[in-house]
Structure 1
């Protein structure tokens, strides 16, 4: 049975912090809906109604483009271990890019990463928990080092060129606001 809350309670925060992976969902007023898995040390619960996550360079940049048109965002965590639960947060988000005045304030919460494109800051208006009875058991082995190795093999100029070629528009051709 789903339960709804108007804030992240202590037990929700603990659950979020135990998970090695989370999912984000966003959509513009038209076009495709994006659901994206995230990991690494890239998420912080900053208060009972606030979560921020650092978005690292990837093959696309859908969330940033969607938020420019429609600030809705959903985040989801599910337990793959002993505690069967799914937790979702719903709210509105904004993207802060590396050249925005708010960047330093938000970035201080995360380890420095050369490929950080944005920090998404979610203002939560609803938290929902539900059973995770059908979620399979899986065992965490480790974070992947693939992204870090890829970044380490690039200069800052090469990373910006990648953003220019792959991250300035969504797959629907909408601008993402990523600085190049």
Structure 2
């Protein structure tokens, strides 16, 4: 049932754009594997082999720390509505932080989201589709605005303090930035 492709075709891209959420999977060479759901308007397809996603503040920052040690990344979408399909993009990625080359140009591709802390730039090496026959049907009720309000309420200084306290290291104690500080 599974099929592999060297890149995102037009049908794959249409499927991705129709989904309301995606999942990110990453791991360092040792330690915990992380799978994280992502939502909001935080993903852009740049080409058949390149995707950007805007990483907003969360309770952890595992992917950023993992990518410093092992650039492997998997993104996954699954349809909860009509079409039974699971799509995975496998590749390598790097995080771009505010002030680093590329940040301003890439950030301009997104509608501003309070608490944006990194942009993940992924090079796709393989795409795989599978049936999704066992994925349940679920109705989309709308976007949550909780994270947006949470970040707005903290303001820039409050977010920086939160990043320093909660997002500077992974669960395994690995730094989440190359210089181990937050911008």
Q: 1:98, 1:179 within 8 Å by CA — same for their partners in 2?
A: no
Measure, in 2, the Cα distance between the counterparts of 1:119 and 1:84: 30
Q: Which residue in 2 is equivalent to 1:168? A: 168
After TM superposition, which residue ranges in structure 1, 4 or more long, deviate above 3 angstroms? Answer: none
Report SS of the residue matched to 1:16.
Answer: helix
Q: 1:52, 1:121 within 8 Å by CA — same for their partners in 2?
A: yes
Q: Which residue in 2 is equivalent to 1:158? A: 158
1:9, distance to aligned residue in structure 2 (A): 0.1
- TM-score when normalising by structure 1: 0.98
**Are 2:102 and 1:99 aligned?**
no
Q: Which residue in 2 is equivalent to 1:9? A: 9
- What is the total number of aligned residue pairs between the two structures? 180
Gaps of 5+ in 1: none
Q: Which residue in 2 is equivalent to 1:136? A: 136
Q: Which residue in 2 is equivalent to 1:26? A: 26
1:152, distance to aligned residue in structure 2 (A): 1.7
Q: 1:99, 1:179 within 8 Å by CA — same for their partners in 2?
A: no
Q: Which residue in 2 is equivalent to 1:42? A: 42
1:86, distance to aligned residue in structure 2 (A): 0.1
Q: Which residue in 2 is equivalent to 1:73? A: 73
Report SS of the residue matched to 2:65.
Answer: helix
1:108, distance to aligned residue in structure 2 (A): 1.3
1:26, distance to aligned residue in structure 2 (A): 0.3
Q: Which residue in 2 is equivalent to 1:120? A: 120
Range 66-75 or range 143-152, more displaced: 143-152
Measure, in 2, the Cα distance between the counterparts of 1:3 and 1:114: 38
1:105, distance to aligned residue in structure 2 (A): 1.4
Gaps of 5+ in 2: none
1:82, distance to aligned residue in structure 2 (A): 1.0
**CA-atom RMSD in angstroms:** 0.8
Q: 1:24, 1:75 within 8 Å by CA — same for their partners in 2?
A: yes
Q: 1:88, 1:128 within 8 Å by CA — same for their partners in 2?
A: yes
